[in-house]
Chains A and B, each alone.
Chain A
Amino acid sequence: MRMEMKSETSVVQMARPTLDAQSCLFAHTSDPGVTIGVVTAGEPSSLALLAAGVAGMAARRARRERSK
């Protein structure tokens, strides 16, 4: 799957084949002891990277590069 879309509408259109509610970041964060955001032990979700701001942007870009 391409990680960056050409137009705004394609963002949500491309979501269709990848849907899996279980993969939602929030499904894993109900435990108050779990740190969310930039410093999770495993690979952070794309939304966590978005929340991380500039550091996350770089990581998202890197992830996009890897997936090409």
Chain B
Amino acid sequence: MYFDLIHNQSWFKPGKKILLIGWDAADWEMIDPLLQNGQMPALAQLIQGGLRGNLATLQPVLSPMLWTSIATGKRADKHGICGFTEPLADASGIGPVRSTSRKCKAIWNILGQSGLKSNIVGWFATNPAEPINGVMITDQFLRPPLKGEAPGTVSTEAVHPPALATAAAALRVTTESLMAGDLLPFIPRLAGIDLKTDDRPLKLARRLARVASIQAAATALIQSEPWNLMGVYYDAIDQFGHEFMPYHPPRMNGVGERDFDLYQEVMRGCYRFHDMMLHALLQYVDAGTTVILISDHGYECGRRRPPLEQSKQDPEGCHRPFGIVCLKGLDLKKNDRLYGASILDVTPTILTLFGLPIGSDMDGRPWLEAFKKPVKPERIFSWEGVGNDQAGLHTENSRQDPAEAAQAVEQLVELGYIAAPGEDVRQTIRNTIRCNKTNLIRALLGTPQEAKAIPLLKELTAENNVTEWSVLTLASCQIRFGKLAEARAILEASAPATQQSSQVQLLFADLAFAEKNPGVALNHLQAAERAGAGHPLLFNQLGRAYLQLERWDDARDVFQKSLEVEPENPAALDGLARVHLECGEPENAVEKALQAVGLIHFFPEAHFRLGTGLERLGKNREAIMAYETALGMGYQPDLLHCRLAELYHPINPQKAASHEKVVINSRKRRIYRADIKSRLPSSGK
């Protein structure tokens, strides 16, 4: 019945085909020089025929969470994938995160229940394969055989339909099958390497074999199995990066001259190899197919790369907050730019391309500005709970929360039903649950759902090994939710040495901002600067203090300093826009505000700044658009309705009246509330 409902809609496009390619960690900073030198011709063609842009990532920058957000259009609190690993269902240890832990539908489920076929290859957190309408070869397809397993076999769990497992196994490229010539483009001076003491060429060969296996599976499926959505995920750029980016030019401190000479071509080679794979994949699609190429985040490749040792200890620190997006199709603009895109937007955009409605519970937006003709996507409340029998989901029994499963097993141990696993196994499980809870908290911070982080943080801080991070993050959340006394108590209870750290000084500054005391905030920020923090965040907060103190020149200086450290820095750009407005430079304000919203679309303050600048330039129609965008994001409704009423007055009195009405009603509500409050007995009486 649901299927019929969808198929009877005029906007549904059952003949549409979309090729979605994921390059983990691909970054324009690496790609652009290669494009300029003609070394990525396939990507150059794609860009020329379509649109390119930055793709904002989410926190934490961890691939299983991000690729699941891409496939669902939702943040981790809704999709439930919170890390690389999770406890095994029988609590005997931990394993790679499983698709059964996902709490909502992915794009392939939604398409499946709409009668469309998907072929999905290598996508993170898809094992065990779901029984989708189409073919799924999961990320575990690449897992080397375990002891006792015959070489050349693939677990039937990794492939749907299971009958294709044998054929899929034949597509795996083993490291042993690689030839010397395969490695030379990456390491031209391979001969000079003593392989007994240097295993990096072998590591490269293993990574190359993995990505070649994905390419083999993708090129096989794209020809042999019918599809509407073909999704292929390549993890190699990220994996090569974690091993070989330190050797990429310019030579970093701590990298020896010889190592630099030997391995400096690896990353360029890796990107060029991806271009070759892209070229090959594009041979199998026609001009009517929409192609979308994305990465989940970027990767530091220049002078901002963390030092060698630090990058090994904190791999996430190598990731940049902007990945890439590139899309081309008959419905889409050509040779254009896409601004303000986020990884959350991929699924809503794909649904719009298919003419399917977007779930209102999705956190992203479709890229309507990328379409040649205006498109008005349909919306439904949610895709959850409708048409489930045709969505190719795991059965309810097999879907579970891994932390809950581990807890249930622990209870059985306590009741004496089963033997207890070793203490180190239990500790590993506890650590994994804590790590995933921390990731979930990080995913919630700064989102509209941030309040959900507070109870989780309280749980973490109540546990035996309280970390400084959880305590300080709790304080930070409490500041944002106005619980200032509680936040102050936490900060003042920390050790004196901790209190002097730049991190805590930044929090004291936040507290002072919340108490509307920018002078005190400035003192704390200057203390943080003395403690050694040279981070863009610090500069942006200093700028915020100077703005509130109306020290425009000082604000301008620190925002510029912030941009020198991180050029793709929406907060600093917005700060400069405000400075320009205050200094009577609306043209510059518009330029900076445009750059800010070009990096992050959901940035209501910057849209407001943009509107103000445009209004001062007399560009009232454009100002209306910017104000309406800010209003749609919930920014200062009273002020914006007022401004919109004024701007609409000469061109559309009816609209002006509707905005005025909202303002009047809002005032009436405020007066009514104040009146009621004044009649209530005070609590002290």
Using a CB–CB distance below 8 Å, which chain A residues touch chain B? Answer: 1, 3-16, 18-21, 23-26, 29-32, 34-39, 45-48, 50-57, 60
Interchain nearest-CB distance for A30 vs B (Å): 6
With both beta carbons as reference points, the residue of chain B lying nearest to A63 in the complex is identified as B179
Residue B61 is within 8 A (CB to CB) of chain A in the complex: no
Q: Give the residue of B191, B195, B202, B272 whose beta carbon is less than 8 angstroms from that of A26.
A: B272
Contacting pair A53 B219 (CB below 8 A):
yes
Q: How far is the CA of A7 from the CA of B171 in the complex (A)?
A: 19
- Shortest Cβ distance from B233 into chain A, in angstroms? 15
Q: A35-B279, A47-B273, A57-B216 are in contact. Are A8 and B184 (CB under 8 A)?
A: no
Listed stretches B22-30, B36-44, B307-315, B318-326; interface member: B36-44
| Cβ-based interface call for B220 (8 A) | yes
What 6 new A-B contacts, CB under 8 Å, besides A29-B39, A37-B279, A47-B273?
A24-B188, A38-B280, A50-B173, A50-B212, A53-B212, A53-B281
Please name 29 pairs of A and B residues whose Cβ atoms are closer than 8 Å in the assembled complex, sorted by A.
A5-B178, A8-B202, A8-B205, A8-B206, A9-B195, A11-B176, A12-B202, A12-B205, A15-B180, A15-B191, A15-B201, A19-B180, A25-B185, A32-B41, A36-B275, A36-B279, A46-B181, A46-B182, A47-B273, A51-B215, A51-B273, A51-B277, A51-B279, A51-B280, A53-B215, A53-B277, A53-B280, A54-B171, A54-B219
B interface residues, Cβ below 8 angstroms from A: 37-39, 41-42, 44, 171, 173, 175-185, 188-191, 193, 195, 201-202, 205-206, 208, 212, 215-220, 223, 269, 272-273, 275-277, 279-281, 283
Report A-chain residues with C-beta under 8 Å of the C-beta of B191.
15-16, 19
* Residue contact B182 to A53, C-beta cutoff 8 Å: no
Report B43 CB to chain A, min CB distance, Å: 11
* Docked CA distance A18–B206 (Å): 20
Q: Is the pair A4, B41 in contact by a Cβ cutoff of 8 Å?
A: no
Task: Tell me the smallest distance from the CB of B350 to a CB of chain A, in Å.
Answer: 23
- CB-defined contacts of A1 to chain B, threshold 8 Å: 180
Partner of A53, one of B190, B205, B220: B220
Given contacts A12-B202, A29-B272, whether A52 and B280 have CB atoms under 8 Å apart is yes
Q: Could you say which residues of chain A place their CB within 8 Å of the CB of B184?
A: 15, 19-21, 23-24
CB within 8 Å: A-B pair count: 144
In the complex, what residues of A have CB within 8 A of residue B37's CB?
A: 30
Which residue of chain A lies nearest to B279 when distances are taken between CB atoms in the complex? Answer: A37
Inter-chain contacts of A26 with B (CB < 8 A): 39, 185, 269, 272
Question: How close is B337's CB to chain A, nearest CB, in angstroms?
Answer: 21
With a cutoff of 8 Å between Cβ atoms, the chain B residues found around residue A5 in the complex are: 176-178
Instruction: For B273, give the chain A residue with the smallest CB separation.
Output: A51
Partner of A54, one of B180, B189, B216: B216
A39 and chain B: residue at smallest CB distance? B283
Least CB separation from A53: chain B residue: B219
Q: When the two chains form their complex, are residues B219 and A55 in contact, meaning their CB atoms are under 8 A apart?
A: yes
Instruction: Return the chain B residue nearest A48 by Cβ.
Output: B276
In the complex, the answer to whether B173 meets A12 with C-beta atoms within 8 Å is no
Which residues on A sit within 8 Å (CB–CB) of B44?
Answer: 32
Q: In the complex, A9→B312 CA distance in Å?
A: 24
Whether the Cβ atoms of B38 and A31 lie closer than 8 Å is: yes
Q: Which residues of B contact A9 (CB under 8 A)?
A: 195, 202
**Smallest distance from the beta carbon of B333 to chain A beta carbons, Å?**
23
Complex Cα–Cα for A67 and B505 (A): 68
Q: How far is the CB of A61 from chain B (nearest CB, A)?
A: 9
Smallest CB-CB separation from B184: which chain A residue?
A24
CB-CB < 8 A to B175: which residues of A?
8, 11
Q: Could you tell me if B185 and A24 are in contact, using CB atoms closer than 8 angstroms?
A: yes
